[in-house]
Amino acid sequence: MTLPLVLTRSENIVWAVAPEQPYRPASILEQIGNTPLLDLSFLVDRPGVELYAKAEWFNPGGSVKDRAALRMIEDAEQTGRLTPGQTIIDATSGNTGIGYALIGAAKGYAVHLVMPANVTVERKALARAYGAQIIESDPLEGSDGAIRLAREIVAAQPGGYFYPDQYNNDSNWRAHYDTTGPEILCQTNSRVTHFVAGLGTTGTFMGVGRRLKETSPAIQLVALQPADELQVIEGLKHLESSLVPGIFDPSLVDRSLPIEAGDAWEMTRRLAREAGLLVGFSAGAAVHGALQVANRLDSGVVVTLLPDGGAKYLSLGLFE
């Protein structure tokens, strides 16, 4: 039986938690989800506008991708597409791969991850720490090159791998439809008026967006992308020049905002130094985009999502 979520507050953090019940030891996988909502309204210039952000690095693998990784693996187990002895393989820029590696270690699966060679050393090290094997793809081809290489590897050995294919797997967005979306509604007392998020696999945007729109069609969904194919923002895709994920439905997008990499870098540093939030590059992009939305409103509750923490990006010199 799933207990209803209730709100609990600690200063400027809102949690969505189950009512008090007798304590029982939990598995690491049960810690995925139910992340806090942080109040970033002090960044907004409009007094009638509130800005909140989901702190997704509170997930045990350190990112929002833990949610989708767990759902894709457990759905595959339940349908028989993943069986003991198979190896999990997928293309990833890092965070989903770390999620697969953590979950594979907890469940006893070998994990192979196809990553662009220029992925940060921290993300590779974290995946390897959980026992995953890294297969590097051409750094110049980005995530699309990793996808193509993963497909080639699976085609050469069809029975030995389970290939979640996160870009085309409905379990990706369903994870957010069933968890992230309801958490946002609970934590804002259903007052959310705008949801702002970047597009990568597009699973977060699709799942949260569908859940929010079912609650209130008036809620505005704002999608963030790099301004062009030359703007590199970790975790985001410029869809016009990339392989478009099969789970992406453009009709759900109310508004698209282009983000310059320089603006994302600046906001990422600002969040660390002015708010004590050490977050990743895509989180800086998310807050920059959310502020653009918030500062054009007279009233509203804007929610965005901070996909991961900044510790995975220290080698880039981002905070120096």
Catalytic residue among 143, 171, 282, 312: 282
Q: How far apart are CA 223 and CA 42, in angstroms?
A: 23
> Catalytic: which of 54, 65, 124, 237?
65
Q: Which residue has the tokens 């989901």?
A: 54
Among 162, 151, 182, smallest CA distance to 75 is for 162
65 is catalytic: yes
- The whole-angstrom separation of Cα 133 and Cα 137 is 13
Active site residue 54: no
Residues that are catalytic:
65, 282
